Amino acid sequence: MGKKIRILIILIVLAALGVGAWWYWHRPATADALTLYGNVDLRQASLAFNGSERIDQVLVEEGDVVKKGQVLARLDTGRLAPQVREADATVASQRAMVLKLRNGSRPEEIAQARANLTSAKADADNANIQLERRMSLTVNSTISKQELDTTKAAAAVADAKVEVAQSALELAIAGPRAEDLLQAEAQLRGSEAQLALIREQLNDAELIAPVDAVVRSRLMEPGEMAAPMKPVLSLAVIKTKWVRAYVSEPNLGHVKPGMRARITTDSFPDKPQDGWVGFISPVAEFTPKTVETADLRSSLVYEVRVFVDDKDDLLRLGMPATVTLLPNEPLKPLPAGGQETDAKAKS
């Protein structure tokens, strides 16, 4: 008998909880509550390529759910890929030149320069000995003046070659000039910058989803010429949704940022959703045509955005919605500034 009583008590408690929950969601608005009418709105993004090239692939269809970072479309990269390889080779060549200048002359090069100097000195000594002999013979008039001049010229050439070999040895020991190294390093940085630019152009050949979203429209197809000013895809951001409603000036004082709200739609009247006031326009405007209440059509109103966490993804763009503000509920904490950060930009 005791067990049956306990079961009965549990059933009564569960029934009471169910009735209480039903009343909470379907309770009539209090006298202080304010009811607004508006439409579901969400953020939209039109995606375009950064470069001008022919579209090779569009990888998504209208209605597809895409994730942040997913590749949505690609350009033809037939001309960009060879440019990347060419720029890469230029950078490799320039790096080798900088390394060569930094390392300076090799010991073998210095040894070769010394050997060349020794050889030049030997040739010069021999030429000077020949000159002395010819000059001694000139005294006895046994050689012509022309032969003597030829010998003098040969000796002068040999002495000049010694100076050239000496300078070459000194340059080999000193290594490259600092200015030459700075010039080569500057050319290397320029080549690296050019390579980075071409690689970025190659990366831009892929159109990436910036956020989780739903594909609304395919605006261009493979074979068409893309450009930065021509959107290829239109996305609807599914994370942030709100109801765009309007409140008259007499009721504006009853609306506060963070005020809790209950949102219902004609499509799902039995599934109300919690929301909060995330944005109140600081500027009045004439009543838009979308406002559904007749008494506001000739009045100045203020835009109000009531954000909603649509976990079940029930709300669609443009769907009519009824917003009941709940002034007796505690306010929702908002970011610094009192309004939703990303709600300040007009959609």
CA-based torsion, 52, 54, 60, 62: positive or negative = positive
Question: What's the pLDDT score for residue 49?
Answer: 92
Question: What's the pLDDT score for residue 235?
Answer: 92
Q: Are domains 27-42+238-341 and 83-199 of this chain identical in fold?
A: no
Is residue 301 within 8 Å of residue 285, measured between CB atoms?
yes
If you average pLDDT over residues 40-52, what whole number do you get?
89
Asked if CATH classification 1.10.287.470 holds for the domain at 83-199, the reply, yes or no, is yes
Question: What's the pLDDT score for residue 344?
Answer: 41
SS (H, E, C) 123-184: HHHHHHHHHHHHHHHHHCCCCCHHHHHHHHHHHHHHHHHHHHHHHHHHHHHHCCCHHHHHHH
For the chain, the first-to-last Cα distance in angstroms comes to: 65
> C-alpha 132: how far from its chain's center?
80
Q: Give residue limits of the domains in the chain.
A: 27-42+238-341, 83-199
* pLDDT band, residue 73 (cuts 50/70/90): very high
Question: What's the pLDDT score for residue 347?
Answer: 44
Is residue 120 within 8 Å of residue 169, measured between CB atoms?
no
pLDDT over threshold 90, residue 156: no
If you average pLDDT over residues 237-263, what whole number do you get?
86
Question: What's the pLDDT score for residue 342?
Answer: 46
What are the tokens at 48?
């375009």
Q: Which CATH superfamily is domain 27-42+238-341 in?
A: Efflux pump adaptor protein, beta barrel domain (2.40.30.170)
Predicted confidence (pLDDT) per residue in 175-213, tens digit: 666 677 788 888 888 888 998 888 888 888 899 999 888
Question: What's the pLDDT score for residue 175?
Answer: 61
What's the mean pLDDT when you consider all of the chain?
Answer: 78
For residue 63, CA distances in Å to 67, 159, 214 come to 13, 88, 6
Q: What is d(CA 149, CA 155) in angstroms, rounded to the nearest whole number?
A: 10
Query: Please, which residues have CB within 8 angstroms of residue 304's CB and are 6 or more apart in sequence?
Result: 36, 38, 244, 245, 246, 247, 255, 277, 279, 280, 281
* Least confident interval from 7-11, 179-183, 270-274: 7-11
Q: What is d(CA 54, CA 78) in angstroms, rounded to the nearest whole number?
A: 10
Reduced to 3 states (helix: H, G, I; strand: E, B; else coil), residue 346 is coil
Predicted confidence (pLDDT) per residue in 108-138, tens digit: 666 676 677 677 777 777 777 776 766 766 6
